Amino acid sequence: MSILIYAEYAEGKFKKTTLELASYAKKIAGETGTTVTALTINANDAATQLGKYGVDKVLNVKSDKLTAFNAKAYADAIKQAAEKESSKIILFNSTTDSLYIAPLVAVALEAGYASNVVAQPVSLSPFQVKRNAFSNKAFNITEITTDVKVLAIGKNSYGVFENAVSATEEEFSPSLNDADFSVKVESSEKVSGKVTIADAEIVVSGGRGLKGPENWGMLEELASVLGAATACSKPVSDLGWRPHSEHVGQTGKPVAANLYIAIGISGAIQHIAGINSSKVKVVINSDADAPFFKVADYGVVGDAFEIVPKLTEKIKAFKAQNS
């Protein structure tokens, strides 16, 4: 019996969220006297990379059919891996792909499913987990009574911890049927050469206070200095100032960064709900009554066009002195 994780692999490496998932699984495995198995798809050097974080065995699916993401096929492969390993706990991270797959796996295994899990289980018997609720405004304790449990762990909620073991790797060939491929991917476009919102430790986000797309250069420069991803509020993406892929909030991409910097964003409730899991929130706004200040850890009242360039220069100077 083994705890099973789905290890997302892209562009030659495993995502930070996957390493966090492995760390989370290793902790449970230590408490239950079990091992950690990772199911991954078309990965290279998987055992070496995942073994550093406590994964004991890797099941690597090598298939040209699975080069493009396919939720039904991926879910079917994970289900079969769970049955092969007699796994009673199956763990996913909270990326868009994983949140699509996890419920399909839970249904297939007749398992209880808990999303937005933010900590190690409160109790293993009965099995209880702490979850975000009400758009990250509260927590609840959920008890899962089924034999098999499926959990989706919130981004940046546990941390990445090295716990090196000698991992083994074997090629796994699940039986996939034609029905799994009823939806076909014709093409996909991926952002390259920049930090993505999903993987970012720091996010620099702009709103209508920046007055137009021509002023985004100062925000991008700040993000570059910080090694951050750029994001925006819904009105900005609706106006076409920035791509919809950068829209964060309840109706856009959720953000759980270590640092979220909001520049010229008033703080509509939907936006705050989508970024509320971020650990530190910094707000720069000329309106002292902007709602965002009520939830900010740090707030600066002033003109972003004066503050942001000065902040960027200060960070550059600090990095130069401490490099």
Token code pair at residue 213? 């797309």
Token code pair at residue 74? 């991926």
What local confidence, expressed as pLDDT, does residue 191 receive?
59
- Its pTM stands at 0.82
What are the residues whose beta carbons fall under 8 Å from the beta carbon of 189, sequence distance 6 or more?
Answer: none
For 56-94, give the DSSP string: -EEEEE--GGGSS--HHHHHHHHHHHHHHHT-SEEEE--
Of the candidates 253, 248, 196, the one whose C-alpha atom is nearest the C-alpha of residue 223 is: 196
What is the per-residue pLDDT across 120-137, written as a single tens digit (0 to 9) for each?
999 999 999 999 888 777
What is the per-residue pLDDT across 166-216, written as a single tens digit (0 to 9) for each?
999 999 999 988 888 887 777 766 655 567 787 788 999 999 999 999 999
Mean pLDDT of 240-247: 92
DSSP H/E element including 153: strand 149-153
Please check whether residue 71 is in contact with residue 8, taking contact to mean a CB–CB distance below 8 angstroms. no
- Taking the C-alpha atoms of residue 55 and residue 6, their distance in angstroms, rounded to an integer, is 11
What is the per-residue pLDDT across 73-123, written as a single tens digit (0 to 9) for each?
999 999 999 999 999 999 999 888 999 999 999 999 999 999 999 999 999
Residue 250 has pLDDT above 90, yes or no: no
- Quickly state the pLDDT bin for 260 (edges 50, 70, 90): very high
What local confidence, expressed as pLDDT, does residue 174 receive?
94
DSSP H/E element including 47: helix 46-51
Please check whether residue 206 is in contact with residue 233, taking contact to mean a CB–CB distance below 8 angstroms. yes
What local confidence, expressed as pLDDT, does residue 235 receive?
94
Please check whether residue 89 is in contact with residue 151, taking contact to mean a CB–CB distance below 8 angstroms. yes
Percent of the chain with pLDDT over 70: 98
Percent of the chain with pLDDT over 90: 75
33 torsion bin: left (phi>0), alpha (psi -120 to 50), beta (else): left
Q: Is the omega angle on the peptide bond into residue 103 within 30 degrees of 0, that is, cis?
A: no
Residue 321 has pLDDT above 80, yes or no: yes
Q: Which amino acid is at 27?
A: K
